[in-house]
């Protein structure tokens, strides 16, 4: 495994890789969710590139960029075990030199849900992912279903800009009690960690009601909201039932529908989702 920090080095090494190349973009501080992406890339492609870059432009001014957890040594040891060929760990200056001023904006699917709560977030995500795709030139890139809207935004960008690669969605990896794995789970104190299971409980309730025939999204949202409100540490940002491709909110569940939510547990904002139908 080779670790590189500059775009030039990455491009030079990329030329020597056996094709097809699988790529996993990350912000590091790995958990089993990240490693599932790496495993799938490893299983499907002779060469695997992973990037670790905490991308400042996808964080709002009041968000956790500075305190986002980082542990590059541990991450590199895990990638080495995972059989990764190249790790790209650029500095902020390498990705955003002082004169940098070109941005990718994806439009409607990026404006709702996370985009509405975190203005500019997907502009930062789309821009850095477009740059990484251009640098790494992957044949396949792997993203977690955990960040469902991110997947929709990236797929739309790839389609609209005719980018020549396949986007692969990897199922969400969860803790035994259902909490979706996330680097941000480390912010939770023990009480908050217990309370955080309410996200998956609400999603499971929606799945159960849907499988019993409930198709009215107003009633589904109400039941989910009522369940979350019973948890005193939880503060709802949004509960959404939307078309899984357009992200338009639905009155009646049609298939497939994306049931997603963002909930603050104490000061930590968590997101999760399931697809029904």
Structure-block tokens of residue 114: 């996370």
Stretch in the footprint of ligand AMP (CB under 6 A) among 7-15, 169-177, 247-255, 261-269 = 169-177
Give me the sign of the Cα torsion angle 182, 169, 50, 176.
positive
> Which residue in 21, 36, 48, 234 binds ligand AMP (CB under 6 A)?
36
CB of 50 to ligand AMP, least distance (A): 10
Rounded to the nearest angstrom, the gap between the alpha carbon of residue 9 and the centroid of all alpha carbons in its chain is: 27
> Which residue in 21, 35, 37, 196 binds ligand AMP (CB under 6 A)?
37
Structure-block tokens of residue 227: 């369940």
Whether 121 sits among the annotated catalytic residues: the reply is no
CB of 172 to ligand AMP, least distance (A): 4
CB 230 within 8 A of CB 210: no
CB of 181 to ligand AMP, least distance (A): 4
CB of 27 to ligand AMP, least distance (A): 4
Structure-block tokens of residue 102: 């070109």
Stretch in the footprint of ligand AMP (CB under 6 A) among 33-41, 160-168, 241-249, 261-269 = 33-41
> Which residue in 10, 21, 27, 206 binds ligand AMP (CB under 6 A)?
27
**How far is 144 from 172, CA to CA, in rounded Å?**
6
**How far is 103 from 95, CA to CA, in rounded Å?**
12
CB 213 within 8 A of CB 246: no
- Look at the chain and count its residues: 277
Residues of this chain that interact with ligand AMP (CB under 6 A) are 26-27, 33-34, 36-37, 143-144, 146-147, 170, 172-173, 180-183
Active-site annotation, residues: 34
């Amino acid at each position: 495994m080779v670790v590189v920090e500059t775009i030039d080095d990455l491009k030079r090494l990329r030329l020597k890789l056996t094709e097809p190349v699988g790529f996993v973009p990350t912000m590091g501080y790995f958990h089993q969710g990240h490693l599932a992406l790496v495993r799938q890339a490893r299983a499907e492609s002779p060469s695997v590139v992973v990037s670790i870059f905490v991308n400042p432009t996808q964080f709002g001014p009041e968000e956790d960029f500075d305190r986002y957890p980082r542990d590059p040594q541990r991450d590199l040891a895990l990638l080495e075990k995972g059989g990764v060929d190249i790790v790209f760990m650029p500095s902020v200056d390498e990705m955003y030199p002082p004169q940098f001023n070109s941005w990718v904006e994806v439009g409607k699917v990026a404006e709702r849900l996370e985009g509405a709560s975190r203005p500019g977030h997907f502009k930062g995500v789309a821009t850095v992912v477009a740059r990484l795709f251009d640098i790494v030139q992957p044949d396949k890139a792997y993203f977690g279903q955990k960040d469902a809207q991110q997947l929709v935004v990236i797929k739309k960008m790839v389609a609209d800009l005719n980018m020549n690669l396949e986007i692969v969605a990897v199922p969400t990896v969860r803790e035994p009690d259902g909490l979706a794995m996330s680097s941000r789970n480390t912010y939770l104190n023990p009480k908050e960690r217990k309370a955080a299971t309410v996200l998956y409980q609400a999603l499971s309730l929606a799945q159960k009601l849907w499988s019993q025939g409930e198709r009215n999204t107003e009633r589904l949202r109400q039941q989910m909201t009522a369940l979350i409100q019973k948890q005193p540490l939880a503060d709802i940002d949004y509960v959404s039932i939307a078309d899984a491709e357009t992200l338009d909110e639905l009155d009646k569940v049609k298939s497939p529908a994306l049931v997603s939510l963002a909930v603050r547990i104490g000061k930590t904002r968590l997101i999760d989702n399931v697809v029904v139908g």
